[in-house]
Structure 1
Amino acid sequence: MPDNDTDARSFTIDRSNMFEPLLQADRSFAETWAAFEEEWRDDDELPPLYLALAELARHLIRKLEAGDTPDFRAVFDVVERWHIQGDAYVREAATVGLLEDLQNGNHHRVTSPDDFLPWLAPETLGWWLQIRKFWAGEPRIG
């Protein structure tokens, strides 16, 4: 009999399924996601998920500003899974598409990027810190 935990850990998340767990974790993003899918429905190319991730970042910042954070643990658990179980596209998109936008101080009016730190799991936190070092001009280690 297969070990369901092992099966879940070995499942690779790709661009075709990366938003499914996110939409379960944060149902309030569903309307934005539906509008994004509709906008790109007739396009022959795969939708540019970096644009959706930028929308997600702004969505999360608005929720943080409003103090609406009860689902953040579940959301950032998904982001951690993107970093651990994602294919190369998903891992890069999670970092460059989401974390960089969350760190963009221009998106924050009454909050700070570091206000997200309590919800970041180890792998995501590592990439968060790498982004910070990159923008500070520090050399990348490893």
Structure 2
Amino acid sequence: MTGENEAADFAFDGSNMFEPLMAADPSFRGQWDRFHDEWRDEAEEPLYLALSELALHLIHHLEAGKTDRFSDIFDVVERWIVEGNRHVREAAIVGLLEDLQNPSLHRSTHPDHFKPWLRPQSAFWWAKLYAFWSDGTPLV
């Protein structure tokens, strides 16, 4: 999805991508542990489902004005996009960022309220997702 060489080294795959998130946002630990327990017997955990839960978690925190950890959280999201393998990058972009943009998930906030915390690559993909949904511009 990012056009980078798939043979390049990466720091994150599905087995370790949530470790830095737990350090950045310990309040997600309970949801992650329940998710991990539910899917522990699967060969691969469905990252998109976990990231959908994370999106709802972040939206609820935004609505409550609890954004003090957002800088650290979006640093992790940026690392997923830059340093993750193909599955991690796609899940971060199409799973998390796309869900954060879903207006039907917001009650008292707007998706654009997340923009101040986006980093360069997450902002790039945020704009690409928006263009895709607004006028059909291909993601790649």
TM-score of the superposed pair, with normalisation by structure 2: 0.90
Is 1:17 matched up with 2:16? Answer: yes
5+ residue gaps, structure 1, are 1-9
Correspondence list, 1:1-142, <5 A: 11-41=10-40, 43-140=41-138
CA distance in 2, matches of 1:44, 1:51: 13
CA distance in 1, matches of 2:68, 2:62: 10
CA distance in 1, matches of 2:23, 2:32: 12
Amino acid at match of 1:19: F
Gap change, CA 1:123 and 1:115, over 3 Å in 2: same
5+ residue gaps, structure 2, are 1-8
User: In structure 2, the residue corresponding to 1:67 is in which secondary structure?
Assistant: coil
Q: What is the aligned residue count?
A: 132
Gap change, CA 1:89 and 1:141, over 3 Å in 2: closer
CA distance in 1, matches of 2:107, 2:139: 32
Q: State, as a whole percentage, how many aligned pairs show the same letter.
A: 55
Gap change, CA 1:53 and 1:141, over 3 Å in 2: closer
CA distance in 2, matches of 1:46, 1:40: 8
The answer to whether the Cα contact below 8 Å between 2:24 and 2:69 also exists between their aligned partners in 1 is yes
TM-score of the superposed pair, with normalisation by structure 1: 0.89
User: In structure 2, the residue corresponding to 1:12 is in which secondary structure?
Assistant: coil
User: In structure 1, the residue corresponding to 2:12 is in which secondary structure?
Assistant: coil
Structure 1 position 49, deviation (Å): 1.1
CA distance in 2, matches of 1:108, 1:139: 24
User: In structure 1, the residue corresponding to 2:67 is in which secondary structure?
Assistant: coil
Q: Residue in 2 aligned with 1:6?
A: none
